[in-house]
Amino acid sequence: MPKKVWNEEKVKHLERLVEEGKSSSEIGNILGTTADAVRQKMHREGIKRGNGGQNSSKLSQKQKEEDIANRIRQLKGEDIEIELPEKTFSDKELKRFIGQGFSPQKVGGLKRRIWEYVSELNSELKWDGEVAKKVLGCNLFAQEVLDEELQDFQLAMVYLMLSKRRSVFVMGRQVGKDFTISVFSLWMAIVNTNYEQLIVSNSQRASDELYDRILGFVARSDELSGSVQESNKEKMVFKNKSRIVPLPSTGRIRGYTEVDRIYCNEVAHGFGNDVVENVLEPMLAVKNGYLTLMSTPLGTTGVLYEAFKNPQYAKIQLPTRVNEYIPEDFLEKRKASTSNITYQSEYEAQFMDAQNVWLNSKNVDKASEEYDFTRQKEEGKKYYAGVDWGRVRDSSVVVVVSKDKADELKVEYLKSFDETPAKEVVNHIVYLNSKFNLQKVVSEYTGLGIEPTERLEDEVETNVERFKSTVQGKLKAYEELRNRFENGEITIPQERKLLTELKMLRYENTSSGNVKIHHPEGGSDDHADALCFAVWAAKKEQHELSIGKVSMLR
C-alpha cells in the first residue's frame, strides 16, 4: 500500500509553518510537496493564515504605501518602476497575477481541466493561450492573496468572462457563483487601473450580500486592505482608481457611465429585460464593456432564457452537484422534499418548459419591486385580503393588497404558513383585520378550505367571500389578475416563490371548451392563488355578485 502524502504529524507541521508566516511555496519545499498541494490541504483542513505573529502582517507601513495594485500598475509600465525592500510578493510573482511567466505546460494543464466546461455550449470558441494565462493569473491571485481554491468549473467561468464581452451562467443553487464573482471582480480591480465594476441584483439587499463577501475577502488580507483607498457599504475604491459598486436592478441606477464590467445576479427572479437593454447596456457603450448574467433558471421565458439562446453570449450550465463541497445526501434530501419542477430548476439548472404560460414574465418583472411589508393603514387606501388554504404539498398563504384612489393595487403583506393549524391562520387574519380594517376577505372555499372559511365568517368582522375554485370562477379571477399586470396597475414584492409561481402558471383548453388555469406538474400555486383572491376582492364594484354578507362566485 503506498504511503500517504499527508498524515497527522505532517498536518501539524503544516499548521506550524503557516503560523510562522511561511508562503505556500516555502512550505511545499519543506514538506516535499507542491505549493498547489499545500494550498489544497489548507483549504480542506480549514487552515487559515492568522492575524498575529511577526510574519502574519507582511506589509510594513512604508510598504503599504506601495500596495500590490499600484505595484502591478508600475510593472505594466503605467507608472515609473521603483525598488522596494522586503516586498510581500516579488515582481516576478506580481507579473504572474497578470498572466505573465506561465509555461506552456501550465497552460496545457489548464486546458485539460476546463475545456470540457468551456466548449460544451460554446462550440465556436477556439482555445486562446493568452486568455488561459490570465485565468492562471486569477487562480494564482486566489491562492496566494485570498488563500482560496477555484474549482475547475469556476476557472471555466473566468475563462468565458475574459473571452467574450457577453456571458450567461445558468446555475443550480449553491454552486458558488457569488464566490467566483467575488474572486474575479477583486482580481480585475487589482490588475487593472481605473476599472469600474457594478454588481447588479434584483434588490439592493441581494447586491449587498454579494458585495459583503468581497468586503470579507479584503478584511482578511493585509495585501488587499493596503490596496483599498476607500471602502463602505456603497462602494469600494482602490488606490489604482478601480471601483466596485453594488446596485439594485431599477431605473434609479441610471447615471453610471464608462463602466467596464457589470455582473447581474439572479436575473431570472424579478429582473426585467428593459433593465438590461435600456439601463445597463448604455453604461457599457463608451468602454465597450463586459456583461455577465447569472441565475438559477425559471421557465423558458425572460431575460436569462433569452440570453441563453442568444449566440452573442458565451454560456455555461451547471447543476449543483458540480460543486465538490455539496454532499450527495443534501441533494437527495432536497429532491425528496421539493417538487420535481423545483428540483430540476433550482438544483439541476434546467429551464422547465413553460408553454401556454398565463402571465407574461416581463409584466411580472416590471411589477415587482423591493420594499418592506407594513402592518399600518395608510390614509386614502382601502385594504383587501386573499387566503389560499394549504393541502399536501402547498402552504396556507395570506396576501393583503391595498387600493389607492387611482385604483392602483399594491401587495402590502404576504405570509406563508407551513404545517400550521387552520385555526392559527384564522387568528392571524383577525389580527390583520384589526390593523388594516379589511374591506373584504376572499377565501378559498373548496376541500380543506371549507371549514376555515366558515370559521372566518364567524370570527372576522368584515365581508368574507367564499371562492369556489371552479374552472370558470378561477378563470374569471385570473383574468382580473392578468389585466392588472398588463395595464401596469399592480405592484408586487420581489418574493422568490411568488414570482416563480406567477411565471409558471399555465392554461389549457379543456374538452368542454373551457380554459383551465393550473400550475405545472409537481409545482404549486398557493402564493399565486392567494394574490389572485386578494386582487379579486379588490375588483371594481360593478363586477361583484353580492349575496348579503357572503358573496358567491359561480
Q: What is the mean pLDDT of residues 212-223?
A: 85
In a domain, residue 415? The reply is: yes
> 211, 182 in Cβ contact below 8 A?
no
What is the predicted pLDDT for the residue at 251?
A: 53
Three-state DSSP class for residue 74: helix
In a domain, residue 282? The reply is: yes
Q: Indicate whether 341 and 369 sit together in one domain.
A: no
Confidence bin at 402 (pLDDT 50/70/90)? very high
Q: Indicate whether 251 and 175 sit together in one domain.
A: yes
**Residue 551 clears pLDDT 50, i.e. is over it:** no
What is the predicted pLDDT for the residue at 250?
A: 63
Three-state DSSP class for residue 551: strand
Q: What is the mean pLDDT of residues 356-381?
A: 86
Q: Which of 52 and 154 is assigned the larger pLDDT?
A: 154
What is the predicted pLDDT for the residue at 247?
A: 86
Confidence bin at 77 (pLDDT 50/70/90)? low
**Residue 437 clears pLDDT 80, i.e. is over it:** yes
**Residue 417 clears pLDDT 80, i.e. is over it:** yes
Q: Indicate whether 171 and 301 sit together in one domain.
A: yes
Confidence bin at 270 (pLDDT 50/70/90)? low
Number of structural domains found in the chain: 3
* Residue 520 DSSP label: P
**Residue 116 clears pLDDT 60, i.e. is over it:** yes
Cα 107 from Cα 110, distance rounded (Å)? 5
What is the predicted pLDDT for the residue at 300?
A: 77
What is the predicted pLDDT for the residue at 511?
A: 75
In a domain, residue 77? The reply is: no
Comparing 268-277, 356-365, 379-388, the range with the smallest average pLDDT is: 268-277
What is the predicted pLDDT for the residue at 10?
A: 84
Q: Please state, rounded to an integer, the average pLDDT across all residues of the chain.
A: 83
Please enumerate in sequence order all residues whose Cβ is within 8 A of that of 219, keeping only pairs 6 or more positions apart, or say none: 225
The last residue of a domain, from among 279, 312, 346: 346
Q: Which of 31-40, 428-437, 492-501 has the highest mean pLDDT?
A: 428-437
Q: Which of 313 and 210 is assigned the larger pLDDT?
A: 313
**Residue 44 clears pLDDT 90, i.e. is over it:** no
Tell me the CATH number at 469. Answer: 3.30.420.240
Q: Which of 352 and 295 is assigned the larger pLDDT?
A: 295
What is the predicted pLDDT for the residue at 1?
A: 35
Q: Read off the amino acid at residue 459.
A: E
Q: Which of 67 and 215 is assigned the larger pLDDT?
A: 215
Confidence bin at 93 (pLDDT 50/70/90)? confident
What is the predicted pLDDT for the residue at 546?
A: 36
What is the predicted pLDDT for the residue at 533?
A: 95
Please enumerate in sequence order all residues whose Cβ is within 8 A of that of 393, keeping only pairs 6 or more positions apart, or say none: 339, 524
The last residue of a domain, from among 11, 29, 56: 56
**Residue 550 clears pLDDT 60, i.e. is over it:** no
Q: Give which of 326, 351, 347 is closest to 338, Cα–Cα.
A: 347
In a domain, residue 69? The reply is: no
Cα 505 from Cα 501, distance rounded (Å)? 6
What is the predicted pLDDT for the residue at 191?
A: 95
Q: Indicate whether 419 and 528 sit together in one domain.
A: yes
Q: Indicate whether 212 and 328 sit together in one domain.
A: yes
Positions of E strands within 279-438: 290-295, 314-318, 368-369, 382-388, 396-403, 409-417
* Strands 440-444 and 506-509, bridge-based pairing: unpaired
Confidence bin at 3 (pLDDT 50/70/90)? very low
In a domain, residue 260? The reply is: yes
Q: What does the pLDDT look like over 480-537, one tens digit per residue?
A: 999 999 999 999 998 888 988 888 888 888 777 788 888 766 567 889 999 999 999 9
Tell me the CATH number at 324. Answer: 3.40.50.300
Q: Indicate whether 188 and 251 sit together in one domain.
A: yes
**Quick one: cell of 494?**
420581489
What is the predicted pLDDT for the residue at 299?
A: 75
Angle, nearest 10°, between helix axes 68-75 and 177-191? 60
Q: Indicate whether 308 and 446 sit together in one domain.
A: no
SS (HEC) of 156-225: HHHHHHHHCCEEEEEECCCCCHHHHHHHHHHHHHHHCCCCEEEEEECCHHHHHHHHHHHHHHHHCCHHHH
* Structural domain for 398, as ranges: 361-551
**Residue 438 clears pLDDT 50, i.e. is over it:** yes
Comparing 266-275, 307-316, 433-442, 468-477, the range with the smallest average pLDDT is: 266-275
Q: Indicate whether 341 and 367 sit together in one domain.
A: no
The last residue of a domain, from among 291, 319, 346: 346
In the block, residue with C-alpha cell 463608451 = 286
In a domain, residue 293? The reply is: yes
What is the predicted pLDDT for the residue at 354?
A: 58
Task: Indicate whether this model's pTM tops 0.85.
Answer: no
In the block, residue with C-alpha cell 453594488 = 246
Range 399-426 burial, b when 16+ CB lie within 10 A, else e: bbbbbeeeeebbbbbbbbbeeeebeebb
Q: Indicate whether 391 and 261 sit together in one domain.
A: no
Q: Give which of 147, 128, 127 is closest to 216, Cα–Cα.
A: 147
**Residue 85 clears pLDDT 70, i.e. is over it:** no
Q: Indicate whether 444 and 527 sit together in one domain.
A: yes
- The pLDDT > 90 percentage for the chain reads 46
Q: Indicate whether 307 and 378 sit together in one domain.
A: no
In a domain, residue 150? The reply is: no
In a domain, residue 354? The reply is: no
Q: What is the mean pLDDT of residues 240-256?
A: 80
Comparing 195-199, 234-238, 253-257, 282-286, the range with the smallest average pLDDT is: 253-257
Range 26-38 burial, b when 16+ CB lie within 10 A, else e: ebbeebebebebb
Q: Indicate whether 365 and 330 sit together in one domain.
A: no
